[in-house]
Amino acid sequence: MLINNLPIKEQPRERLKEYGVDSLSNSDLLSIILRTGIKGLSVKDISNNVLNEIGHLDNLNNFSLDELANIKGVGLVKAMSLLASIELGKRVTSIEPHVNMYFGNYDLLHQTFKQFFFGLKQEKFMAIYLDSHKCLISYKIIYIGTIDRAYIHPRDIFREAIKVSGSFIIVIHNHPTGDLTASKADIQTTEKLISVGNIIDIPLLNHIITNGVNYNLIIK
């Protein structure tokens, strides 16, 4: 059935107008983003194809442009609309880090920086530099790839800390698998950074593991 053939009250745009966006199902929201169907498939059919393919709405961000475009009825243009909507949502809900932003707790810090890790399929390692009042000076991506002690060298992290006159450092990296358990390499990297930080008097406050949604602290 074409979406225009549905009763007015059941059409996604009309339901949004009448009852508000909170009343819409995931299929309804996708239908509004995708806008139109194609020959033989209504936009509702295509929306359901997307949901069936991804399994769960949270997985949508893990699909590439080509993977989305290959879902029956989607194609390149609709896939672009989906990815653009996801990115816009991330930007609306994110907290933009700025100089002098105070980080008195890890919940706020993670809420601010998780946007840089959400949906990534490879590991990213970032250093965050704070002043003596635990306010943000700057942050820097140290490495992207597979986290290994051979690639995360203290000099790369502390050189920048000295350059910006940092008083404290927090490092954060993601586990693309979603598992927040610290690996042996994570713990060894943390221990080395603690040791160097104590020697040059720029302490490592913590090492955060994130999956872009939740987080775990290596230093308890």
Query: Are 82 and 118 in the same domain?
Result: no
pLDDT above 70 covers a percentage of the chain that reads 93
Mean pLDDT of 2-20: 74
Query: Are 117 and 161 in the same domain?
Result: yes
Q: Is residue 98 part of a domain?
A: no
Burial class (CB in 10 A: 0-12, 13-18, 19+), 192: middle
The residue among 41, 37, 34 whose CA lies nearest residue 80 is: 34
Last residue of one domain, picked from the residues 93, 116, 145:
93
Query: Are 205 and 121 in the same domain?
Result: yes
Q: What is the pLDDT of residue 13?
A: 87
> Which residues are CB-neighbours of 6 under 8 A, at least 6 positions away?
44
Q: Give the integer Cα–Cα distance in Å for 146 and 123.
A: 6
Last residue of one domain, picked from the residues 93, 128, 150:
93
Domain of 19, in residue numbers: 3-93
Query: Are 84 and 157 in the same domain?
Result: no
Give the total number of structural domains in the chain.
Answer: 2
The residue among 134, 120, 116, 130 whose CA lies nearest residue 172 is: 116
Q: Per-residue pLDDT for 4 more than 60?
A: no
The residue among 14, 64, 72 whose CA lies nearest residue 45 is: 72
Query: Are 116 and 86 in the same domain?
Result: no
Q: Is residue 99 part of a domain?
A: no
Query: Are 135 and 179 in the same domain?
Result: yes
CATH at 64: 1.10.150
pLDDT band at 147 (very low <50, low <70, confident <90, very high): low
pLDDT above 90 covers a percentage of the chain that reads 68
Q: Is residue 136 part of a domain?
A: yes
> Which residues are CB-neighbours of 194 under 8 A, at least 6 positions away?
203, 204, 219
Query: Are 37 and 70 in the same domain?
Result: yes
Q: What is the pLDDT of residue 91?
A: 76
Place of tokens 């003596």: 132
DSSP codes of every residue in 108-142: HHHHHHGGGTTT-SSEEEEEEEE-TTSBEEEEEEE
Mean pLDDT of 105-118: 93
CA 7 to each of CA 10, 13, 63: distance values in angstroms, whole numbers, following the listed order: 5, 12, 33
